[in-house]
Chain A
Amino acid sequence: MQLSAIPAVQPSAPVTSNDPVVQVRSICKTYGDIEALRNIDLEFSRGKLTTLLGPSGCGKTTLLKIIAGLVPANSGEIRVNGRAVTGPGPERAFVFQDFALMPWATVMRNVAFGLELRGVNAAERKRVATRYIEEVGLAGFEEKYPHELSGGMRQRVGIARAFAVNADVLLLDEPFSAVDEQNRRKFQEDLLRLVDLEKKTFIFVTHSIEEAVYVSDRIVLLSPRPGRISQVIDPKIDRSASPDDIRRDPGYLDTVEEIWDGLRHYVD
């Protein structure tokens, strides 16, 4: 492994790690005539935050939904904890771009919904949900309805709901894209705190280079039409520094520039 911010480029060989929690094997996906993903091989290491980054049309959300079991692949295989999966499972939890909160349910019921579907009793649901509502910073809003919350607060509900089912892997589909810029920064900082606190594996989809570099242990760059892995980057950034220092860190800025150089020719 290189120690500098210079990315490790492995365009075709499968990306391996010591303890893969999710393995993506030769995934192909077409929508009619459009080839969305071609032969994707990837491994996601346990306890790390990996970002799928790329311009629109590169299939990053499709790949995430295939991993989640929400969209079937045409060929290939997804393995979670070593076992092949075909649909959604309890070891994975999804955070939706548009929050996907039930407007008729309170924050409490929304956060506890995954447990409700599993038949967990009301007292236990409340205990678990209260803990995660507090963890994402929504204590006091338990009995509010989604329309009474701001966009940022709604996505906190979505994240608390995903935490509440205690999955090994959290799949986040552009979770901050519907949140305004100031809130997004706060959110990214909170996400890093939660990653540290929860010791889970995060797979994160975004189209923001800065966001990817700021939060990720590893960035998988996808190129569009058809979606393929073009680059894998391990940003070497000292996470113990303050958020402002990280954003001024030369390693951070170089990595952002590096990725932009890689993506530039896909834009237009």
Chain B
Amino acid sequence: MTSSVKLGNATGAHEAPVNVGQALSRMFDSKPFLWTIASLTLLFGAWEIAGLIPISIAFPTFSSTLVAFAQMVVDGSMVYAYFLTLQPLLLGVAVSAALGISLGIFMGLSRKAEWLIAPVFIVLQAAPMAALVPLVTFVYGIGLTAKTLAVIMLALPVIVLNSYKAVRHVNPSLVDMCRSFQGTRLQQIVKIIIPDASPVMFAGLRLGIAAGFIGVMLAELLITPTGVGDLITYHRSVANYAHMYAAVASIIVVSTVSLAGLQSFEARFLRPEKRKR
């Protein structure tokens, strides 16, 4: 059986599907997104079964979570929660990205800036930020500022350090190439260093955004009971477990979708050669 298949491949002849399994596997190979769907189906199926057993009375099924989600969208509580949560998140991520990438590039280009700035962010990255989030409340109260600061505290260090490493590891031969064709320092930075550093920079940005989500949830759970964090806390306190899970799952989905969106943005605008792969 195996040898005959190998022979078939070697001669380049088109094989007829021998059975359903092979036909299926061929279909999956030609359409990779089917694997993604299969993976999610498995996850949600397992969730549904675990909820049906049930493994805990506080663990709802996937279908009841989906229904709860629809209810919360219809009654507007979900929409309003996201309206509150996304404000500090977007603000914090935007500030962290702009500040983080600029600081990172600056540190990557100048040894003195590296000595001055790097230690601060290395300490910040190592520090357990969740412990510092309540301190922010003492200074800035429970408003938008405190939540935004929590996002920045978590997102900024990883973005700065990755951008800086990205610039440090730019291919020196490309920089020499730019110099040999009399590129100015600015052309060198814009046309060579930033594009060459962008994959690592974007990896940092993805980690930073993921950390930003952690920051905003921590702020909403620990400091200011508003937004999605409040939705989770409230439904837990009244034992609406399906609604609580719907809120938790929704923030995971939003986080995943934003990261995937960032990835396609990068491929589209900065590294066009990756689209072709």
Within the complex, which residue of B176, B179, B192, B276 is in contact with A102, where a contact is CB–CB below 8 Å?
B192
Q: Once the chains are docked, how many angstroms separate the CA of A114 from the CA of B174?
A: 12
Asked if A202 is at the interface of the complex by the 8 Å CB criterion, the answer is no
The answer, among A70, A98, A145, A165, for a CB contact under 8 Å with B179, is: A70
Interface string of A117-139 (1 = CB under 8 A from B): 11000000000000000000000
Residue of A nearest to B195 (CB): A104
At the interface, yes or no: A44 with Cβ under 8 Å from chain B? Answer: no
A54-111 with Cβ < 8 A to chain B? 68-70, 87-90, 92-94, 96, 98, 100, 102-104
Interface contact A96-B176, CB-CB below 8 Å: yes
Secondary structure at the A interface, as helix, strand, loop or mixed, is loop
- Is A19 interfacial (CB 8 A cutoff)? no
Are B180's CB and A102's CB within 8 A? no
Q: Are the CB atoms of B178 and A117 closer together than 8 Å?
A: yes
* Contact A104–B176 (Cβ < 8 Å): no
0/1 string, A140-151, CB within 8 A of B gives 1: 000001111000
Say whether A163 faces chain B, with CB atoms less than 8 Å apart. Answer: no
Judge whether A113 and B181 touch: CB under 8 Å.
yes
Verify if B169 is at the interface (C-beta below 8 Å from A): no
C-alpha gap A145/B195 in the complex (Å) = 15
Task: Report how far A118 CA is from B95 CA in the complex, Å.
Answer: 35
A96-B173, A100-B174, A102-B195 known; A88 vs B271 contact (CB < 8 Å) = no
Tell me the minimal C-beta distance from B193 to chain A in angstroms.
Answer: 11
- Asked if B187 is at the interface (CB within 8 A of a chain A CB), the reply is yes
Chain A, interface size category, equals: 20 to 34
Q: Which of B173, B182, B196 contacts A118 (CB 8 A)?
A: B182
Given known contacts A98-B173, A145-B276, A148-B276, is B271 in contact with A104 (CB within 8 Å)? yes
Q: Is B134 an interface residue (CB 8 A)?
A: no
Cα–Cα distance between A165 and B177 once the two chains are bound (Å) = 13
Q: List the B side residues contacting A113 at CB < 8 Å.
A: 177, 181
A147–B276 Cα gap in the complex (Å)? 10
Residues of chain B contacted by A89 (CB below 8 angstroms): 182
C-beta contact mask, B147-186 vs A, less than 8 Å → 1, else 0? 0000000000000000000000001011011111111100
B270 in complex: contacting residue of A94, A100, A104, A148, CB < 8 Å: A104
When distances are taken between beta carbons in the complex, the residues of chain B under 8 Å from A68 are: 180
CB of A94 within 8 A of CB of B182, answer no
Is B273 an interface residue, CB under 8 A from the partner? Answer: yes
List, sorted by A's number, 7 A–B pairs whose CB atoms are closer than 8 Å.
Answer: A93-B180, A94-B176, A102-B196, A117-B178, A117-B184, A145-B273, A148-B276
Rank and list the top 8 A-B pairs by shortest CB-CB distance, nearest first.
Answer: A145-B273, A100-B177, A114-B181, A94-B180, A100-B173, A117-B183, A88-B180, A104-B271
Q: A68-B180, A146-B273 are in contact. List 14 more A-B contacts (CB 8 A).
A: A70-B176, A70-B179, A88-B179, A88-B180, A88-B181, A89-B182, A90-B182, A94-B176, A94-B180, A100-B173, A100-B174, A100-B177, A116-B191, A147-B273
- Residue numbers of B with Cβ under 8 A of A are 171, 173-174, 176-184, 187, 191-192, 195-196, 270-273, 276
